[in-house]
Amino acid sequence: MKKYNILFLCTHNSARSILGEALASTHPSEKFVGYSAGSSPGSSVNPIAKELALAMGYSELKLRSKSWDEFALPNAPKMDFIITVCDNAAGEVCPYWPGRPATAHWGFPDPSQVQGTDSEKKVAFIQVMNGLKNRLDTLAAMPLDRLDSMALNAIHKK
């Protein structure tokens, strides 16, 4: 079975896009390989995002903030889908993506900006994680070999 590469983009690549990468790579359908990157990557992965990714069984060795420039290089994995998960990244001029992958914007509020107790902050991350999981479940049920950007964007409305 073909595995589909999905690149999740966010400005700092420390929370939402990291969750997308981990969710796609550990999705029960086994149809996806998740990647993530940012236009201005941070120096580290948010500790709550890291905790949730590890709980999914995602490898700690893969958890790092990366620049989206890595995925525009000639030897980078070819992406089938590119999904922005923050409004800032959606509005930025992205690098050229080889192979013309289907693109979409699945916007979520930044959970790292939530103020409050540690429990309240974790709830915000879990809400984003559950939203991404629901969209990946919908995506996995679609005919992936025929999916275009319009259909991929429509998933966020479900």
pLDDT at 38 over 70: yes
Rounded to an integer, what distance in angstroms lies between the CA atom of residue 131 and that of residue 157? Answer: 11
Rounded to an integer, what distance in angstroms lies between the CA atom of residue 43 and that of residue 140? Answer: 32
Confidence of residue 157 (pLDDT cuts 50, 70, 90): low
Model confidence pTM above 0.95: no
Provide DSSP, 6-41. Answer: EEEEESS-SSHHHHHHHHHHT-TT--EEEEEEESS-
Q: Residue 152: its pLDDT value, please?
A: 76
Rounded to an integer, what distance in angstroms lies between the CA atom of residue 21 and that of residue 33? Answer: 8
Percent residues over pLDDT 70 in the chain: 91
Query: Which comes out higher in pLDDT, residue 1 or 33?
Result: 33
pLDDT at 92 over 80: no
Q: Cβ–Cβ contacts within 10 Å for residue 137, how many?
A: 15
Does CATH number 3.40.50.2300 belong to domain 4-157? yes
Give CA separation, 13 vs 38, 64, 68, 100, 101, in Å: 5, 8, 9, 22, 20
User: pLDDT digits over 45-74, tens only?
Assistant: 999 999 999 999 999 999 999 999 999 888
> Mean pLDDT throughout 68-87?
90
The separation between CA 139 and the C-alpha centre of its own chain, rounded to angstroms, equals: 13
Query: Which comes out higher in pLDDT, residue 135 or 157?
Result: 135
pLDDT at 20 over 60: yes
Rounded to an integer, what distance in angstroms lies between the CA atom of residue 80 and that of residue 8? Answer: 11
Q: Residue 86: its pLDDT value, please?
A: 84
Helix or strand or coil: residue 103? strand
Q: Residue 146: its pLDDT value, please?
A: 80
Rounded to an integer, what distance in angstroms lies between the CA atom of residue 84 and that of residue 17? Answer: 8
